[in-house]
Structure 1
Amino acid sequence: MTDRIEAAAAELRPLLQEFILWAPANAPDSDPDLVGPAALWHRLDVKGDVGLWKRQDLRNLLLERMPQAVEDPDAAADGMVPAIRAYLTFLSSTGRLSAGSDPLESLLEELDELEDDFVDAMEDALAERDWDEEEDELDEDESLGDFEPFADEISDLPTIRLRPDSELAAAARQVPLVGQARDLALWVGTGRKVGEETLLSDEEVRDAVKALGLAEPQALWNIWNLAIDLEFLAPDGDDTVSVDSDTAAWPFEDDEDALDVWTLGLHSIDYGDPELDDDDLTLALSGLTRALLIRVLVNGGSRSLDELRGELAEATAEYDDLGADAWAAAVDPLAPVIAWLTGYGMVTVADGEVTLTPLGTEGVVHMIDEADIEVDARPAIDAMTALDLLSFSADLPEDEADAEFAAWMALRDPGRAASELLEAAAEDEADALIRVQAASLVGSLGEVAVPAWREALEEASLRPYAATHLAQLDAEDALEPTQADTHWLILDMWTISAGLGRSEFVSSLHDIGPAQTIIGLLDVIWKVRHPHLEELLEAVGDAHPDPQVGKAAKRALFKARSGR
């Protein structure tokens, strides 16, 4: 899940950078920084097409996703809808609103209709957050399963390496509890009478237990709840439930779909907590499953079952006055915990050691992220693509980025690695940051990268870098970079600095030289067919303090648009 979010963010980065450049001149009253979370969740929900927008997408995004995802409800209430309005207008005006989307006018009309409801939702989110903060202050460290007390230990962990989605999805398809939840949902069928007023009959319970091969009826209800969590079962009327139409297709072939289902049921781990006849004793053991998981993680992913039993018995007694009594009453409190976690594919137990599976590690990292605790989790080096490396390196300190590159290179032939990096950089000519990262890394490889640089000469977005590096390496028949090559490099630099903020962008303009130098540059740079040219010329005119530069930027923009 984490690497999918990172991949989606990397995919969106160049588009959002271009929007940030577009917004000051075309939507000056909007805050483009507010669009990022909304665009990311839309990408994750819609999956394949960042430009496909429907009215219903806006409703789901603003009224369901954003109230849970925004960090600052106040700012979102004031500016989210105008920012999305500007973003949709940007997509439409630049030809990026995909075929199949609702018309822009219809989308903007829906935004107008949703705005009041969205503001109300933000106010509710703010009130709930304030309440939660008050509760946290009153009940600090109250839950046995809280991750927060382990925040320092989590931050001190070495980098957690996550397996690729293909491997995780393959593991998710084999999870026994998900298969049982599917079987239960299929047994339920369509329109079965079950609800607050109508319970399963004793005969139905026996039939369901037999159909699932369960040892005792109590386990049925946790699997029933899991089936609802996984959306295999859903209410379809008063006191009736039905199987979802897609349930029979589990395990799903698509990796993303398979992982989405597994993640939906991730919080079912709480069903592993022991259930006792006494409600107070049951409550004293609430959170035990999470408590075990976090202790295994901070111990490096594996922990002795005996050590866990001793530490958790002590923690339970400290957490609740009834903790010791509850532990004794449960006889073996960790038995249901381990049973559920193994059934959900999160741990294995061998030779007295509890070990997180790759799927379990992914799940715990996901829950840590949800708890808003910093954790250093990245794709495994052996499974990291060139694009993964470039995307992650862009956000790392230089020494860490260098270490990632060295580890990645250690598993690859240098010449082939150079080609992979440049091929990844060529996937999206709008992503200047990835391109600069790739050029820097390949440039560090020296002469072994010459064949890859020669191939890159055929790619318009990489040719300036290839020509520059081939000339620096004195490669045979290497041509000197042209003026257009140099101008492309400048435009890439401006694109990156614009994404960092106005002050960084202005500083990058001053790096070129005095106003007259920039004016001379603007007189010719408009001829370069760079994907961000027009937005950058608008940004130069808006940001540079010299009015003569502003006029030159407007002239250049006119020429670029008219093709003269």
Structure 2
Amino acid sequence: MSAERPSLPPVRLNSEAELARDALAAPLFVRAVRLARWAGPDTRVGAGGELAEAQLPAAAEHLDLPADEDGAAYASEAWRLAVDTGLLDVTDPEEGADDEGQGTDGETEGTVTTGENLALLTGGSPQDVLSIWLDGLDAVHADATAPVLDDFADLVGEDGSIDFDALDWDPEAEAEFLDGVLGNLYLLTLADNGAGEGPVPLPALAASMIVPDDMGEPTDDILEQVSEAMMRLDDQFRLLEPIGIVEYHPVDEALLVEEGEAADASAAGADDEDVTRYGMVKLTPLGLYGIRARMLEAGVDAPAVGDLAGKGADALLDGIAHYPESAARAEVKLWLAEYGAGSAVSAAAELLAAARGADEGAPLRRLHCQQALALAGPSAEPAVRAVLGDPELGGLARVWLAERGEADVPAPPEAMIFWLAIDTIAAQLDADGELDELQGLIEGLSAQHSGFFDEVWRVDHPATADVLEAMGRLHSDKKAAKDARKAAFKARSRAGG
């Protein structure tokens, strides 16, 4: 409630060293690096920095590509990436042009030199490699959202100018749509705490962007839009796969013969075997890193496990407030590791201090503090014992000591028992846990003390009335639920409304 919930669950990324190795192994990036090392003083480029057409066969041969149009296209694509990522620096052909700079067709050509970034791939840090790779991802993303030119000649006017309006192409809308698709794929990958790491059917991914959430049976118009989106995404994922962000099983070309069949698959009428023929896509570990980097640049809150290591305990407890349990544990372990094994007391003391408070998020902070202390180990005991008399922390301190089997745990005063019960339920309500677990907690705590609802409404806790109202809604025993609602009314009256 108080802690602002991130728009996406936390992602567990591979180490930067592992990601850098993946980046250097991406097929398109490999080709770009090979061409950057192949280029020399005699390599000629056109006005747009593209490799001169006469040199494409040699470039394709160097990349072990076939000596045909496809080989030349792949070589040209790799060359553009090398230029876009700073592996090569292009000299404008207009600068110092002379007879030696004339191409075979009489047009002036430029030259190319090694870019500074090429040396960073071997002599730089993993961060340097990933930064260069991200530039490459941006370039490929731009290519993927470029207009499809079926007949470029139709766009050229009599005066040689290009009629861009005839393209019916909105670059911002195209980029936004692809980013939305990649964002949905990212979210599906992280769904259920990483259980969604399998491939996603292309029809489902396209439908996630087209079909309204409140629509029952998709209309023919919607299905046609899904089909068109699938075909566009098929082209785009074919372009994106070589940069290493996805593993892609493309649409079976045999299906494209019969118009409209792709749309039929999106209606979820095909079985699993059939769905694979309509395209399957999966984000790679490098893809998770790359898409997250793009989202962060766009201002999206996309947390990663490890972001909070080295920050204060207040940032930790607020940050993990709505993390899945396993991600929260991993984050706490990394945070504790920053302190070192010999500083458990200091770490525990900082956690306990950050857990105090009467704001809406304080109960959940205390719950996560207790869980974090369990990971801190027995060395944290002095810090825990130091707060036994604290009205806000004394209850969780006793629970921690009792769970460790300590025999000399002082009995809590009755007021602390009731306060801890309210605080615990308030934390679970804020955590949005499973309803059955929450109901069991409510019934278990209220049953531990006879006359619970006769006393608990007097607890001086900001969440007392809200907790009692929730107990009235969730308690399975009708009499207890009625008693809880009466107690909630008393608590509100005691608090002045």
Tell me the TM-score range normalised by the shorter chain: 0.3 to 0.5
TM-score by length of 2: 0.39
Larger Rg: 2
TM-score by length of 1: 0.35
